[in-house]
Structure 1
Amino acid sequence: MRVLVIDTALDVCAAGVFEETSSDVWSCLSSVVEPMARGHQERIGPLVRDVVSASGGFDSLDRIGVTVGPGSFTGLRVGLAFALGLGAALDRPVVGLSTLDGLAASVEPAGQVVAAIDARRGQVYLRGFLDGAPDGEPAPMDIEVARERLASLSGPVRVVGSGGSLIVPDGAALVDLQSADLEALARLTAAAEPAERPARPLYLRAPDATPPTRLPGQARVRPVEA
């Protein structure tokens, strides 16, 4: 199987084409990872064009995987829209990939792994894994609560992701990885059932932006004095 993976959910703009050359052995045909907090919409098209052109063209792809969050509201929607449009044009399935699952899959799966993303506002997005399998649902969590949760775990724990340095307790190992490894995302893409992993945003918290209270040009409503 040959898959294209796209990651714009965090502070990177990344794409890669990977092929399974034998049972569970993957080869990277072409990949690019560019750190960036903004500007994904301008960069993702040329980046995908380049990695796909360098690996045999769009017709050679069997499946597309794209990160769906949690992460940047704008960034993840850029990647999603591009992946869905490309999948429709090529008539290829598009698989949605959790950034937390991708981070956990990027490290050795044995034992306890906690994937944590800095969610700002004193919180992290968190999910635990045991021997490579999810141990609970992903959730936003206050930093102090997350620290207590990790401190209560018995046995060795590895923490991966941008939120790791905020919550890692004494005795836990911090893995220096801020975004998911693209090969790990390719493996998740190939293993997933597309119908069970739809490419739609995974929001664990409401957006910071709020809708306007009045339409453009509409007069402000003054409170009635008692």
Structure 2
Amino acid sequence: MKILVIDTALSLCTAAVFVDGRPLAVRSELMVKGHQERLAGFVRDAMGEAGLGFEALDRIGVTVGPGSFTGLRVGLAFAQGFGAALARPVVGVSTLDALAASVTPEAGSLPALAAVIDARRGQVYGRFWRDGVAAGPPEALSLEAAGERIAALGSNVTLVGSGAVPLAAAFPKAGVVDLTGPSPTAVARLAVAAHPDQAPPRPLYLRAPDATPPTRLPGQPRVPAPR
């Protein structure tokens, strides 16, 4: 299968081309913002290096979150538009699942695994596995609640993701893999394995965006504060 993967959910802007699980070209750069300006160029360069025409693609995989509100919108909008133009299926991949798959091809090869993303404001986005079985869906958790979930996994736990470092102090024996984002190989592997009908490219938001809409439109008078 020939697949293009796109990841803008966290601090990376990634476009990569894989054929039957083998990477032909990868463009990935660390960036806090600017994904919208760079993504199309990354896709163009990756496809050019891979030596494939766009019509050769069988599928497009894109990370759906949790992650940056703006970053997710950029990646998903591009993937959906690209898929519509090519009449190719677009498959959504959980960022947390992809982080877990970046450590091991199958979560079951580690006794206990916690994928955690720093969500700021004293929170993490997390998902947890024990003996290869997910202990529930992705969640937004306080650091304290996440620590309790990790402790419940028992000893010999591995923490992966940007939220691993702030939690690691409470678990000195834990393995820590501090990734800024999932590996393109992991995203591609999950996107190939997923059924398009069961993995729609819809954003996974675990909490409301930090930005709030304005309380009045431009030109409207301010409402006096109650006395």
Asked if these proteins are the same fold (TM beyond 0.5), I'd say yes
Cα distance change of structure 1 residues 224 and 179 upon mapping to structure 2, 3 Å threshold: closer
Residues 165, 178 of structure 2: 8 Å contact kept: no
Deviation string, structure 1 residues 42-99 (Cα, Å, up to 9, x no partner): 0000000110122212111100000111111111110111101100000000011111
Number of the residue aligned with 2:177: 175
Cα distance in 2 for residues equivalent to 1:82 and 1:18: 18
Number of the residue aligned with 2:121: 121
Cα distance in 2 for residues equivalent to 1:224 and 1:130: 53
Number of the residue aligned with 2:77: 81
Cα distance in 2 for residues equivalent to 1:130 and 1:43: 38
Deviation at 1:133, TM superposition (A): 4.1
Cα distance in 2 for residues equivalent to 1:87 and 1:133: 32
Number of the residue aligned with 2:143: 143
Moved more, 147-156 or 203-212: 147-156
Residue identity over aligned pairs, in percent, reads 57
Gaps of 5+ in 2: none
Residues 123, 143 of structure 2: 8 Å contact kept: yes
Cα distance in 1 for residues equivalent to 2:141 and 2:226: 40
Q: Secondary structure at the match of 1:54?
A: helix
Deviation string, structure 1 residues 4-30 (Cα, Å, up to 9, x no partner): 00000100101111111xxxxx21111
- Over the residues paired in the alignment, what is the CA RMSD in angstroms? 1.3
Letter aligned with residue 204 of structure 1: L
Cα distance in 1 for residues equivalent to 2:87 and 2:42: 21
Deviation at 1:155, TM superposition (A): 3.4
Is 1:216–2:184 an aligned residue pair?
no
Cα distance change of structure 1 residues 44 and 112 upon mapping to structure 2, 3 Å threshold: same
Q: Secondary structure at the match of 1:214?
A: coil
Cα distance in 1 for residues equivalent to 2:124 and 2:179: 15
Is 1:102–2:85 an aligned residue pair?
no
Cα distance in 2 for residues equivalent to 1:102 and 1:112: 16
Cα distance in 1 for residues equivalent to 2:3 and 2:130: 27
Relative to the length of structure 2, the TM-score reads: 0.93
Cα distance in 2 for residues equivalent to 1:9 and 1:188: 16
Relative to the length of structure 1, the TM-score reads: 0.93
Residues 112, 154 of structure 2: 8 Å contact kept: no
Query: 5 Å matches for 1:1-226?
Result: 1-20=1-20, 26-55=21-50, 56-108=52-104, 109=107, 110=109, 111-168=111-168, 169-223=171-225, 225=227
Moved more, 36-45 or 125-134: 125-134
Residues 100, 115 of structure 2: 8 Å contact kept: yes
Residues 96, 116 of structure 2: 8 Å contact kept: yes
Cα distance in 1 for residues equivalent to 2:224 and 2:140: 37
Cα distance in 1 for residues equivalent to 2:132 and 2:152: 20
Residues 66, 80 of structure 1: 8 Å contact kept: yes
Cα distance in 1 for residues equivalent to 2:140 and 2:222: 36
Letter aligned with residue 173 of structure 2: G
Q: Secondary structure at the match of 2:215?
A: coil
Deviation at 1:183, TM superposition (A): 0.9
Residues 12, 30 of structure 2: 8 Å contact kept: yes
Q: Secondary structure at the match of 1:106?
A: helix
Deviation at 1:224, TM superposition (A): 5.5
Deviation at 1:134, TM superposition (A): 2.4
Deviation string, structure 1 residues 82-123 (Cα, Å, up to 9, x no partner): 101100000000011111010001112312111000000000
Deviation at 1:131, TM superposition (A): 4.1
